[in-house]
Chains A and B, each alone.
Chain A
Amino acid sequence: KAGVTQTPRYLIKTRGQQVTLSCSPISGHRSVSWYQQTPGQGLQFLFEYFSETQRNKGNFPGRFSGRQFSNSRSEMNVSTLELGDSALYLCASSLSPAGGGNEQFFGPGTRLTVL
């Protein structure tokens, strides 16, 4: 079974631009979550989608948005990029929508560099 895939793997943008990252979950998984990883802030939760609906959202500004499609693939968008948005963006998928001890499977991440 194929794992979680994220595209692109690397991205370089300049301040003020916008970017879209893509995540394809494991087949059959309907929950997709996004995380931002930086050396200073560590791993921070961005949002979670299930059945095309945002179920949970972290403390990020409105420049960060996402969506999920009917095939469970998800995209996240960052508008008006800032230098501080440089990070590794990780996507995770899970079989179940319920909380608690569900295993989440992470993709390799997209490394975004903002110049």
Chain B
Amino acid sequence: GDSVTQMEGPVTLSEEAFLTINCTYTATGYPSLFWYVQYPGEGLQLLLKATKADDKGSNKGFEATYRKETTSFHLEKGSVQVSDSAVYFCALSLLTGGGNKLTFGTGTQLKVEL
């Protein structure tokens, strides 16, 4: 079946540090890839997405590149802020046959300190 594996957390960084959260996937079909963020007490918000190989999704300083050869979609940000503290989820959705079903990774908690 389809699955997403992302690095274990929690990740603790100092403000302005570089962030990488690793994400790899296996899919039975051609997937679209997503990063969602969840702030305490809230639902999920789409952070960025990529729908085909070599696409780069970006938003709010975060970036991720769809790497089909390594089945990866790692999240990066050059300089994190305290306000980036949240849980980050990598997810996939199949292009055909899966409807809008999202398969999520386990989530990575990020804590940014001053």
Contact = CB atoms under 8 A, between A and B. Distances in A.
Contacts of B93: 99-102
Nearest to A42: B106
Pairs A-B, 10 closest by C-beta atoms: A101-B51, A106-B43, A101-B32, A43-B104, A100-B95, A56-B99, A106-B44, A55-B99, A108-B43, A42-B106
Majority secondary structure of chain A interface residues (helix, strand, loop or mixed): strand
Interface residues of A, number: 29
Interface residues of B, number: 27
Contacts of B51: 100-101
Nearest to B106: A42
A45 to B, nearest CB: 5
Contacts of A33: 99-102
